[in-house]
Structure 1
Amino acid sequence: MKKTNLAIGIGLSMALLSVMSVVKSQEGKGDLVEVTPFPSRYMDANQPMFELEMGARVAKDTYDYWNLPTDSPQRTSYDHSEFINIADGVWTYGSSSLVNIHIVEAPEGLIIYDTGTSREFGEHFYRQMRQHLPEAPVKAIIYSHDHYVFGTEPIIEKEQERGNEDILVIGPKGVTRALLESPGTATKFPEIAGVLLSRTLEQFNVFKPSEGPDAGFKNTMNASLGGLVLPNYEVEHGEVKNIGGMDVKFFTQDIDTDSQYQIVAWFPEKRIAMNNIIWGWFPNLYSLRGGDFRNPTLWKNAVDTLIELEPEVLLSTHSTSLVGDTVIMERLEHYKDGIASILDQSLKAILQGSTPAEMSYEVQLPENLKDAPILIENYGEIAHVPGRIYTALFGQFNRNAAQLNRLHPTEEAQRLVNAMGGLSATYTLAKTAHNDGDFLWACQLADYLVTVEDSLQHRQLKANCLREMGHRALAQNVRSWHLSQARALEGKTAIPTALPAFPDIITKSPTSFVDQYRIRISPQKANDFNQVLVFEIDDETPVALHIRNGVAHFVDSVELDEGQVRVSMTADTWVGVFNNLIEPQLQLNRDKSKLSKVV
């Protein structure tokens, strides 16, 4: 009797549990929300993919652009090395990199605009130039801004071999200091220039192969940046200078684009405008590598400067050269309108309460500008611009108080993985999303997995998601970020957090790097320390770091006394110390242990 009752009781309990399970399951399904998909090029597994001649796997719009004829009006940037006679006495070297070099023949010699991204770039340009212009000496090199100045040294060396010792190297006022503090990377804080440089290389295909599905094929940059020559002449705004028998007027104000140090060189006799304002794609108003805020209003005003000049020849750092006032004016107006449209839409979206994440989907070019060749998004994506405008105005807080104080990213990932059922369940969700072509969601989930458990399996899944998105990107910067990090996850490349400072830059201005060295002080170790540390580097004027309360303050004018710690070294030794490459052989006039406590 008791066994029968027990069996009945067990059966009723199991039935009840079964019913409860069904009810719970149904309740769970009833709580599911319908997903509202927002359009994205990164969410379609059925998107047809194509292969370029170097093996790069790309989407159709990239394939179509790459296969345009070189003289097509739809192609607004040079993607292969070309040396082109644009007009009488005007030449353009269009490279397979992201920068052009321009030449104007003056009566007494050549005027060159920019020199490229590396010593090797400058050498290659010079060989090409001498094949087409074998005799005329170089009279001047003009820097459009502080980025493409690293091919100058071989040009000057080759000219010196020809007996040409008198070459003007012209930059805008203040650019020399900028080049010494953070060469090629505009930043308010030169202390982190090494991070900006590493991010720059990641953005421009340095960590990608030149062949195969992941190949970089546009907007590439050589990683060797050793051919810098500082300007020997800085021009003022509005200055007119006769160079080689030809007047050149320089504009350095109201032309800010990706740097505050800019030159528009205007040749009134031939109505030629050399500029870094009109790029061969939608302007990169937000550079993913970082740097100062690129104010769209200032960029729009810079376009107005060119419009007011009414050039008949337009030579641009990043876009194809144009001849003819009608085609030039059309390009200028499209560029101005494109900038204005994205800026005004972004400001309107902010007025309506949109967050940066929402704005990335809401703000787009209007239909009548989408087909303008000069506004193609094959450099950066417009989707990233509105958020940069927002953060320039408000910082990172999006006005949602629930997101003002956040969990640490590691703890957040751990909690979310647990909420989704654990590592295995989250991996299944991510893998399914990847297989369904839901690459954005799959990558987000895979990122949580790698944060929680950095295993080969999780790394590979994240790499697979990044690779699919990189192959689908039209913007080559975005492609490079995705594919570089995918390859790093697979151990195929290594991406440094920061790169060391250039030795030749340190030796040109060693004491300015003492100021940057202050951030290397450990606040914890120096908490109770109060000492002036004097640096004597070669024949430079002594400078110091005053360390107190765990903080180091730079002192650029020092009166030497017996109470100081003094460090003497050569500039070459200082290069190794600054870059953490050598053990410094320091000669101190006081207790050496005091230095080891704080550095």
Structure 2
Amino acid sequence: MPNADLLHHNEIQFRKSIVELAPGMWTAVGYAASTQHVIEGASSLTVVDTSESTGAAKNVLDEIRKRTGKPVGRIVYTHSHRDHISGAAIFAEGRVCPVIANAKFKSDLVGQDGNKIAPHKALNRRTAAQFGIGLSPEERISLGCGPGDRPMEGLGGGFLPPTQFMEDDQDIDLDGVRARLIMAPGETEDHMAVWLEEAGVLIPGDNWYHAFPNLYAIRGTPYRDFAAWADSLELLEQLGAAVLAPGHTMPVFGKDKVREVLSTTRRAILHVMRHTAEGMDKGQSMDDIVSELRLPDDIASKPWLGEFYGRASWSARAFASGTLGWYDGNPTTLGTLSSAERARHMADLAGGVEALTAAARSTIDPQWRLELCDHLIALGEPVELLKAETMETIAEDEINATARNTYLWHARRLRGGETNR
């Protein structure tokens, strides 16, 4: 049985619905990994973020058409992640439609430098694992940021490149609705919030959602600037919004509640930064820094800081490597052993490969069993099924959806199952 808190998070935060934010303003939740926001103007609509697929975008547009028949006059991207920009063509409905984005907009859907060298196969593999691509609906119950069961038709296929770029904060007319576009770097450098002051509605993109922030994505990402993210949350909090419509999960209503979720999330980020920096200054290992990391008591139990998507321990490791690089200050790590060499030494200490295998099978610590299995696999021992069984057991208790998906995805691979990658 999957983690009860994760199931509750999924049930509440990704329930398929069109939520009214204010008269003539709606958010679509549960139709895609991300949310889509629609603002009704005098004779046209503005769509903020467009989902990850043409299939999802079509479903949202069909629902919006039950409320208004006005055409989409412009599209705004809060940032460049694929799940926010890939359904735009559906909303444009064949018309030439202005697409507004931050001047720092940069997406892998846009042509990249031909000289760029990157581990694309590794990224694709890890992305598939994080989001559970190829798992059954029962296995992939959630993405952490959205429902596990969603349309995949036209994934990445409806992207329209931006036609208008914003260098700085700017007031803009959305066909009679005043809005301010605010540069707010956080999950990405190119984040842009949409502030509808008269309605009290704030669309922050992915700078806030109902989960511990994904300060580091296990699929693999460049360093996300923790300090800039915290600063943006403070800036957004000071706006005094009455409604917060995030890039994932349900909207938040009420000035006090909006202020609370933004301020406590900012505090959580700062706490991870401070705790990690202090541990590094003391010369602690990253394992010890992570093992001692706890959020302050007064915010630790806040439901919107549950580790459904991001995780504090992953964030601490990312902050350390993002600020000082991979070297942890311990000269031992300046050298290296291959996986097979290390495994051979471990087997020798255990009294041989058979003894190491027995230890892996008898330990009650699942994390230790995984580590011992890795040593045995490096030695060519057939313990793949033991590792798969262990990951499946861990996954059932896992509150973090991306960790759950990753455990199950790799377990399926070890069992020889199809993962589409």
TM-score normalised by L of structure 2: 0.91
Matched with 1:107 is 42
Change beyond 3 A, Cα 1:129–1:247: same
Aligned counterparts of 2:332 and 2:117: Cα–Cα separation in 1: 34
Shift in Å, 1:194: 4.9
Task: Please say if 1:62 is aligned against 2:43.
Answer: no
Determine which of 33, 36, 46 is the counterpart of 1:98: 33
Aligned counterparts of 1:432 and 1:261: Cα–Cα separation in 2: 50
| Contact 2:209 2:248 (C-alpha < 8 Å) held by counterparts | yes
Aligned counterparts of 1:189 and 1:310: Cα–Cα separation in 2: 42
Matched with 2:386 is 461
Change beyond 3 A, Cα 1:177–1:101: closer
Matched with 1:127 is 62
Task: Please say if 1:153 is aligned against 2:89.
Answer: yes
Alignment of 1:185-334 (within 5 A): 191-211=118-138, 214-219=139-144, 220=148, 224-252=155-183, 255-276=184-205, 277-334=207-264
Change beyond 3 A, Cα 1:493–1:64: same
Matched with 2:22 is 87
Matched with 2:335 is 405
Aligned counterparts of 2:284 and 2:160: Cα–Cα separation in 1: 46
Aligned counterparts of 1:140 and 1:391: Cα–Cα separation in 2: 40
Determine which of 374, 394, 401 is the counterpart of 1:476: 401
Determine which of 140, 143, 151 is the counterpart of 2:77: 143
1:443 maps to a residue whose letter is: L
The one-character-per-residue Cα deviations of 1:521-548 (angstroms, maximum 9, x if unpaired) are xxxxxxxxxxxxxxxxxxxxxxxxxxxx
Change beyond 3 A, Cα 1:170–1:398: same
User: How many pairs does the alignment contain?
Assistant: 411
Determine which of 366, 369, 378 is the counterpart of 1:451: 378
| Contact 2:133 2:419 (C-alpha < 8 Å) held by counterparts | no
Aligned counterparts of 1:140 and 1:121: Cα–Cα separation in 2: 19
Task: Please say if 1:489 is aligned against 2:417.
Answer: no
Aligned counterparts of 1:196 and 1:292: Cα–Cα separation in 2: 12
Aligned counterparts of 1:378 and 1:236: Cα–Cα separation in 2: 34
| Contact 2:343 2:376 (C-alpha < 8 Å) held by counterparts | yes
| Contact 1:182 1:193 (C-alpha < 8 Å) held by counterparts | no
SS at match of 1:345: helix
The one-character-per-residue Cα deviations of 1:98-123 (angstroms, maximum 9, x if unpaired) are 31111111222211111111222212
The one-character-per-residue Cα deviations of 1:479-505 (angstroms, maximum 9, x if unpaired) are 111111011100112464xxxxxxxxx
The one-character-per-residue Cα deviations of 1:368-403 (angstroms, maximum 9, x if unpaired) are 101212211111221111111111122222222122
The one-character-per-residue Cα deviations of 1:281-311 (angstroms, maximum 9, x if unpaired) are 1111111111111122111101122122222
Change beyond 3 A, Cα 1:174–1:299: closer
The one-character-per-residue Cα deviations of 1:321-380 (angstroms, maximum 9, x if unpaired) are 123222211222111122122221221222222221111111111111012122111112
1:371 maps to a residue whose letter is: S
| Contact 1:104 1:110 (C-alpha < 8 Å) held by counterparts | yes
Task: Please say if 1:116 is aligned against 2:51.
Answer: yes
Aligned counterparts of 1:269 and 1:388: Cα–Cα separation in 2: 39
SS at match of 2:2: strand
| Contact 1:345 1:363 (C-alpha < 8 Å) held by counterparts | yes
Change beyond 3 A, Cα 1:424–1:132: farther
| Contact 2:99 2:163 (C-alpha < 8 Å) held by counterparts | yes
Computing the radius of gyration from Cα coordinates, the structure with the larger value is 1
The one-character-per-residue Cα deviations of 1:63-87 (angstroms, maximum 9, x if unpaired) are 55456xx4xxxxxxx2221112222
Aligned counterparts of 2:59 and 2:49: Cα–Cα separation in 1: 14
Query: What fraction of aligned residue pairs are identical, expressed as a percent?
Result: 21
Alignment of 1:503-582 (within 5 A): none
What are the ranges of 5 or more consecutive residues in structure 2 without an aligned counterpart? none
2:323 maps to a residue whose letter is: L
Aligned counterparts of 2:223 and 2:151: Cα–Cα separation in 1: 25
SS at match of 1:333: helix
1:446 maps to a residue whose letter is: C
TM-score normalised by L of structure 1: 0.65
| Contact 2:213 2:311 (C-alpha < 8 Å) held by counterparts | no
Aligned counterparts of 1:63 and 1:121: Cα–Cα separation in 2: 22
What are the ranges of 5 or more consecutive residues in structure 1 without an aligned counterpart? 1-56, 71-77, 497-599
Aligned counterparts of 2:314 and 2:233: Cα–Cα separation in 1: 22
Aligned counterparts of 1:240 and 1:178: Cα–Cα separation in 2: 28
Task: Please say if 1:362 is aligned against 2:292.
Answer: yes
SS at match of 2:417: coil
| Contact 1:250 1:263 (C-alpha < 8 Å) held by counterparts | yes
Tell me the C-alpha RMSD between the 2 structures: 2.3
Moved over 6 A (4+): none
Shift in Å, 1:215: 3.6
Shift in Å, 1:424: 2.3
2:164 maps to a residue whose letter is: Y
Shift in Å, 1:150: 0.8
1:300 maps to a residue whose letter is: A
Matched with 1:585 is none
1:243 maps to a residue whose letter is: L
| Contact 2:21 2:201 (C-alpha < 8 Å) held by counterparts | no
| Contact 1:286 1:388 (C-alpha < 8 Å) held by counterparts | yes
| Contact 1:470 1:479 (C-alpha < 8 Å) held by counterparts | yes
Task: Please say if 1:439 is aligned against 2:366.
Answer: yes
Change beyond 3 A, Cα 1:110–1:303: same
Aligned counterparts of 1:235 and 1:421: Cα–Cα separation in 2: 65
| Contact 1:97 1:218 (C-alpha < 8 Å) held by counterparts | no
| Contact 2:143 2:402 (C-alpha < 8 Å) held by counterparts | no
Shift in Å, 1:443: 0.8
Aligned counterparts of 1:398 and 1:222: Cα–Cα separation in 2: 43
Aligned counterparts of 1:208 and 1:405: Cα–Cα separation in 2: 38
Shift in Å, 1:179: 4.1
Change beyond 3 A, Cα 1:389–1:267: same
Alignment of 1:582-597 (within 5 A): none
Greater relative contact order (Cα < 8 A, sep 6+): 2
Alignment of 1:2-81 (within 5 A): 57-63=1-7, 65-66=9-10, 70=12, 78-81=13-16
| Contact 1:205 1:216 (C-alpha < 8 Å) held by counterparts | no
Aligned counterparts of 2:8 and 2:45: Cα–Cα separation in 1: 37
Change beyond 3 A, Cα 1:178–1:463: closer
2:248 maps to a residue whose letter is: H
SS at match of 1:440: helix
1:450 maps to a residue whose letter is: I
